[in-house]
Amino acid sequence: MQPEFEPTIQALKKEFNAQISEFRGDVSAIIPAENIVSAAKMLRDEFDFSLLSTMTAVDHWPEEKPRFDMLYQFTSVSKVLSLSVLVQVPGINPSLPTITGIFKNAIWREREVWDMFGIKFEGHPDLRRILMPADWEGHPLRKDYPLGYEEPQFTFNFEEIDLRKPYAKE
């Protein structure tokens, strides 16, 4: 671990009971969901992690305990450091507090996570779909979402599919 990380890691452990792990120099911290807002505020104000470079989620379905990992990647431009913060989210009614009050770009990132994984962000100013059409049902990047959309058309089943394919008439 780079020595520059030490004060940040110690503070995260002390304040938010974080579990720290490291893999090939990439440091990640698992913190409880209720602490994410204050942790993001602390990282930005005290440790100079001024950039929220990405937000995404991981679906561990059919594992249910916990189903989702929410991942925040914070970057410190001045110290040239990058830190992952993971929050575990349960599969039933997944929701998290929003960090849009601390990082403005989280408005779009949280909309994307809501669109793709269906994790609700409490307090988000405008939580609607960002990538899929507004009337879309379901959240496509969930593991239990059906994979394919249409049966592929090969030589052996060409006519069968051709009959029921919804061609545009006019």
Closer Cβ to another protein, 71 or 141, answer by number:
141
Q: Which of 85, 145, 92 is nearest to 115 (CA)?
A: 145
Nearer Cβ to another protein (156/167)? 167
Q: Does 3 engage in binding with another protein (CB under 8 A)?
A: no
Q: Which of 83, 69, 73 is nearest to 22 (CA)?
A: 83
- 137 interacts with another protein by CB under 8 A: no
The answer to the question of residue 150 lying near another protein (CB under 8 A) is yes
Q: Please give the helix or strand (H or E) that residue 85 lies within, else none.
A: strand 81-89
Out of 80, 92, 164, 170, the only residue in the binding site for another protein (CB under 8 A) is 170
Q: Pairing mode, if any, of strands 19-23 and 68-76?
A: unpaired
**Among 132, 144, 157, 160, interactor with another protein by CB under 8 A:** 132
Burial category of 164 from C-beta neighbours within 10 Å (exposed 0-12, middle 13-18, buried 19 and up): exposed
Judged by CB under 8 A, the chain residues 76 through 105 that form the site for another protein are none
Measured from the Cβ of residue 149, the count of other Cβ atoms closer than 10 Å reads: 5
128 binds another protein per the rule CB under 8 A: no
Q: Is 163 in the site for another protein (CB under 8 A)?
A: no
Applying CB under 8 A, the residues found at the interface with another protein are 131-133, 136, 140, 145-150, 152-153, 165-170
